[in-house]
Structure 1
C-alpha cells in the first residue's frame, strides 16, 4: 500500500466505517510516529503488508480450488494476514485514504471489523488531510440557470476534476463537519451527506412552507463533549407561513440532534436581526454557534451573539473597538469567520455600489475564549485586500483564500501580522466564470463516519446516479453536455479514420518510389510523403464521471483546440497529397513523352 492523502473518493458508494460521534476518546491506540525512523519503518511495513495482501489473495484462490470442503472459519484462520498484530495493521490503515479503506473493507472479516471500529474511525478522522471546498450555489447567467457545484482543493493546492455526487444541482451547502455536508433543498427535506462514501441522511425541515426561508439560516456543527452532530435553524417571525411586518427579525432558534425524533425550539432573549445572520454568516466552534447581531448600545452597532448547544443558553460579546473608522471608501462591514478553530471578526470598508466589495484596509480579530475571560486580539492587518471575503473559512493552512473580481479564486501567503498584498504574487487557483457569484469556502475532510446510526428519524440512502438532473429545467444543460460528448466521440472517430487513410496512402507511395527513376523527383515525393501521415495526440478515454464546472470549461477549451488542430493537420496532409499527386502526374507525363519519342 502507498499513502496518497490527496486521492479522491468522489462517486464512491462502497461500505464505510462506524460513526465517529460515539468514541472520540482514544486511549489504547497511539498516532503513527512522525519521526524519520518512524517514516522508514512505516514504509517498510507498507511493503511487507502489500506482499502479505498478495499472498492473502493467492491463498484464498488456492483454498477455493483445492480445499473447498473446509469451513469458512477454518480458511479464515489460516490467512497469513490474520497473524499480524492488530495495532500494526491499524497503523497502516491510518495512513490510507478513505477510498482505499472502502476497498479493504471487503477483503476479509478481520479487516472489516478493524475499519468499522468506531475508535478507528475517530482516529482516522484526526489524521485525515484537510481540503478547501469551494461551493458555487445555483443561479442565473443571462437568464439561463446554472446548477450548484463544488471544487475541492487539496493540501498541494491542486483542484479536483470531478463534481461531488452528493451535491445535487438544486442543493445549497450550509455547513461542513467531520466529512459530513449539510445541504438545503427547496423541498420539505434537508440532507446530511458523507462527502467520501456518498451516504445521505434525509430529514424533515423544522417548519414547512415558511416564506423567505433560506439556506443561510441553517448551520451544522459537532459538539466535542457530547459527540453529537447538531443542525440549527433561525426561524423568522411568521404567521401561517407568512411573514408579518417585522420580517427581518427572529425570536426562535430550532435545534436538531442527529438521531433524535424531533426539533427543539429555543426562544432568544430578545428579537434579533435576521439580515445580520444572512449578511455576516454563522460559524460553529467548540460546541457553540456564533453570529453577528445588531446592538444599538455598542459603538459599532454590532455584537457577537452565541448559543451554547450543550447548555442551551445565549450570550453576547462586544466587538473590538480599536479599529479606525473614517468611512473614506464606504460603509464599514463585519463578517464572522472561523480561522484555525477560533472565532474571528473580519472588518473593512466596502463600496457604496457593491456591499460585498472590500476596500481600504482589512482587519482580522480573534476571540480568545478562556474560563476566566474573553479577550479580542488583532491577528492580521492587511492592506490592498482582495475584492471579496469568502466564508465561513477563508484561511487554509498558511494562505488566505481570496476572490479577485467576481470569478478568479486565488491564494496569498499570510506573511505577518501587518502586510500589504502584492497582486503580482497572487497564485491563481481556478476560474469560476461566469458562475463566481456568492462563492463559499469551507474546510472539509474525507471520513468514514456513517449515517446509518442516525437513521431513527430520517431516511438513509445513497443517492441515485446524479440525483436531480432528471428535472426538466436541467434538460438543456444535460443536452449541452451530451453534445460535447458527441463532439469528442466524432472527433476521435475522424482522427482514427484520417490516421488510417493517410498511413495507407503513405505505404502505397513507399512502394511506388523505387519505380521513379528521377532522383530529384523521387526525393521531393519522399519528403512530401512523410508529411502526409496525420499525427494526432494520444486519445484519452472519456470518463463516465461528471466533471465540475471549472473542469468542464477546461475540457471544452481542450475540445475546441483539438478540433482546430485536427483541421490544421488535415489541411497540411491534403496539401501534401495534392503536391504528391501533381509530382506523380509530371513523372507520368515525362514517361509518356519518353515512350512516345522512342516509338
Structure 2
C-alpha cells in the first residue's frame, strides 16, 4: 500500500510539473494535500527548473505606461494592470526581473525596494537601508539570481558626486535567503552609467561606464559578481564607427551591446562570457531618425522572425530580421512604454515584511464574498418559503 501511495505521489508530481503556474495556483484549493504539495519549496524549485528548460514557456510582457501592467507575449494583447504594492503610492520603477520576479523601486518613498511576484501576487519589502551621507551622490542598482547559492540578490551602489570628503562609495548587497544586508568592498574606481540598473549575465551585474578621455567620450563595461561580491572589467568589442552612445542588455542569456552612431545602430553579442574574441555583431540597423537610439533588446518573437527592442524615446519597436526594417509596436493606448521586461510565470511565494498583510487582505475579501453569497442564498430560501406559505 505504501509503495502504491509513493507511486501515486510521484505520478501526481509529474502531472503537475506539466502545468503552468496559474492553473496550479487554482489547484491548491482542491484539497490540503494538493495545497501543501504545490506550495512546497521543493516543488516550486522543480517547477521553475522545468519552466526554464522549456523552449517556449508561458511568457508575459511587463511594462509601465505609465502604470505597471502586463500583456501576452508577443501579441501584446490582454493587457492587465498589475496590482503591485506601489500602485497607490507613486511610481514603481522596475529595476530588473529574474525568473518572473520583479524588483521594484519607489523613489517617492525614500527608495523603498520590493520584490514582487505578479503570478502569486506576493511581495517582499526589503529592510530599510539609510544613506551613509547627506552629500550629493548617485545610485546604481541591480537585481539577479546567484546560481551556486540559489539566492536572489539586490545590489545598491552609492558613489559620491563630491570631489572631497570621507565618503567615496558604499556597496550593499541584500540576500533574500538570509533576509539581510551585507556590505561589499567599495567601488575600486568611480564609474558613471547612464542606465543605473545593472544587466544580469552569468551571475554578474553589468553597467556601461561613460567617461571623458582627452575631450573624447569613452566607454568600459563594469561588472559586479554576485557570487563573491567583487568588481570586474568586462572586455568590449572593437568598434570601427564613431560612437554616440553605448547601451548594454541581455539577449537569450548573453551580454549584448547597442552601439549607436548617427547613421546606424549595431547589436553586438558576447557569445562566450569572458572571451573577448567571442564578441560578434549580429545586426546592423540603419537609423530611421536622428537621435532615435536602441536602448536594449527585449526578446525575439516566438517565431524568431522579429526582435523586439526598446528605444530611447520610450517606444517599443520590432526589427524584421529579414528586411532589417523597424516598425512601432502598439502595446496600449498610452503613447509611451518603458521599464519593459519579459517574465515567466512561477510559483514562488514571497513572504514577510508586508506580504502577510496582502495575504490577509485577499483572505478578508474572499471571506466577505463567501458571507455575501451565503446571505444571498439565505434570503432566497426565505423568499421561497414565504411564497410557499402564501
TM-score computed with the length of structure 2 as normaliser:
0.75
From the superposition, tell whether residues 210 and 412 of structure 1 become closer, same or farther in structure 2 (CA, over 3 Å). Answer: farther
1:293 aligns with 2:206: no
Q: What do residues 183-237 of structure 1 show as CA deviations (whole Å, max 9, x unaligned)?
A: 11222432111111111111234324867778x7322111112111110112131
1:110 correspondence with 2:33: yes
Partner deviation per Cα, 1:105-161 (whole Å, 9 max, x = no partner): 12123222321233321232242422221224xxxxxxxxxxx41332324523233
Matched with 1:567 is none
- Whether 1:389 and 2:301 are equivalent positions in the alignment is no
Compared with structure 1, are the counterparts of its residues 428 and 308 closer, same or farther at alpha carbon in structure 2 (3 Å cutoff)? closer
- Larger Rg computed on CA atoms: 1
Any conservation in 1 of the 2:298–2:309 contact (CA below 8 Å)? no
Matching residue of 1:531: none
CA distance in 1, matches of 2:128, 2:69: 27
CA contact (8 A) 2:297 2:307 kept: no
Shift of 1:392: 6.8
**Given the alignment of the two structures, is residue 420 of structure 1 paired with residue 324 of structure 2, yes or no?**
yes
When structure 1 is superposed on structure 2, of 381-390 and 108-117 the one drifting more is 381-390
Aligned to 1:364: 267
CA positional deviation for 1:257: 1.0
Give, in angstroms, the shift of residue 378 of structure 1: 1.3
In the TM superposition, residue 89 of structure 1 has moved relative to its aligned partner by: 2.2
Q: Is the 8 A contact 2:117 2:348 kept in 1?
A: yes
Residue 515 of structure 1 is matched in structure 2 by: none
Q: Matches of 2:295 and 2:71 in 1, distance apart?
A: 15
- Describe the superposition over 1:476-516 as per-residue Cα deviations: whole angstroms up to 9, x where unpaired: xxxxxxxxxxxxxxxxxxxxxxxxxxxxxxxxxxxxxxxxx
Find out whether 1:341 has 2:249 as its counterpart: no
> Mapping of 1:192-211 within 5 angstroms?
192-208=115-131
User: 1:166-565 to 2 correspondence within 5 Å?
Assistant: 166=84, 167-169=86-88, 170=90, 171-185=92-106, 186-188=108-110, 189-208=112-131, 217-237=140-160, 244=162, 251-258=169-176, 259-273=178-192, 276=193, 278-279=194-195, 281-294=197-210, 301-325=218-242, 332-349=244-261, 359-370=262-273, 375-384=278-287, 387-391=292-296, 393=298, 395=300, 397=302, 398=304, 399-402=306-309, 406=313, 409-415=316-322, 420-421=324-325, 426=327, 428-434=329-335, 436=336, 439-452=338-351, 455=352, 458-463=353-358
Q: Given that residues 390 and 440 in structure 1 are in contact (C-alpha distance below 8 angstroms), is that contact kept between their aligned partners in structure 2?
A: no
Higher strand share: 2
- The residue number in structure 2 matching 1:489 is none
With normalisation by structure 1, the TM-score equals 0.50
Query: Which structure exhibits the higher relative contact order, with contacts defined as CA atoms closer than 8 Å and separated by 6 or more residues?
Result: 2
Question: Given that residues 296 and 311 in structure 2 are in contact (C-alpha distance below 8 angstroms), is that contact kept between their aligned partners in structure 1?
Answer: no
CA distance change for structure 1 residues 280 and 207 in 2, over 3 Å: closer, same or farther? closer
What is the number of equivalent residue pairs in this alignment? 341
Cα offsets for 1:510-560 (capped at 9, x unmatched): xxxxxxxxxxxxxxxxxxxxxxxxxxxxxxxxxxxxxxxxxxxxxxxxxxx
CA contact (8 A) 2:237 2:276 kept: no
For 1:393, what is the secondary structure of its paired residue?
A: strand
For residues 318 and 148 of structure 2, the distance between their equivalents in structure 1, rounded to whole angstroms, comes to 34
Asked if the contact 2:260–2:293 (Cα under 8 Å) also holds between the matched residues in 1, the reply is no
- In structure 2, the partner of 1:577 is none
CA contact (8 A) 1:365 1:378 kept: yes
SS of the residue 1:112 aligns to: helix
The CA distance in 1 between the partners of 2:224 and 2:263, in whole Å, is: 33
Q: Secondary structure at the match of 1:86?
A: helix
- Check the 8 A contact 1:281/1:292 in 2, yes or no: no
Aligned-residue offset at 1:292:
1.0
Q: CA deviation at 1:265?
A: 3.5
Tell me if structure 2 keeps the 8 A contact 1:281–1:391: no
Deviation for aligned residue 1:402: 3.9
How far is the alpha carbon of 1:182 from its aligned partner? 0.9
In structure 2, C-alpha distance between the alignment counterparts of 1:294 and 1:372, rounded to whole Å: 22
**CA–CA separation in structure 2 for the residues paired with 1:466 and 1:346:** 44
1:199–1:462 Cα contact (<8 Å) kept: no
Q: Give 1:460 shift.
A: 3.3
Distance 1:156 1:378, change over 3 A: closer
Distance 1:321 1:396 in 2: 29
TM-superposed deviation, 1:86: 2.6
Distance 1:402 1:261 in 2: 35
Task: Please give the residue correspondences for 1:79-94 in structure 2 after superposition, counting only pairs within 5 Å.
Answer: 85-94=8-17
Other structure's SS at 1:262 match? strand
1:96 Cα deviation from its structure 2 partner? 2.5
Distance 1:369 1:202, change over 3 A: same
Q: In the superposition, relative to structure 1, how do residues 254 and 388 fare at CA in structure 2: closer, same or farther (>3 Å)? A: same
CA RMSD, Structure 1 to Structure 2 (Å): 3.6
Query: For structure 1, which runs of at least 5 residues remain unmatched after alignment?
Result: 1-76, 137-147, 238-242, 326-330, 350-358, 468-599
- Partner SS, residue 35 of structure 2: helix
Trace 1:566-581 onto structure 2 (pairs within 5 A). Answer: none
- Is residue 410–residue 427 contact of structure 1 (8 Å, CA) maintained in 2? yes
**Cα 1:466–1:362 shift into 2, 3 Å:** farther
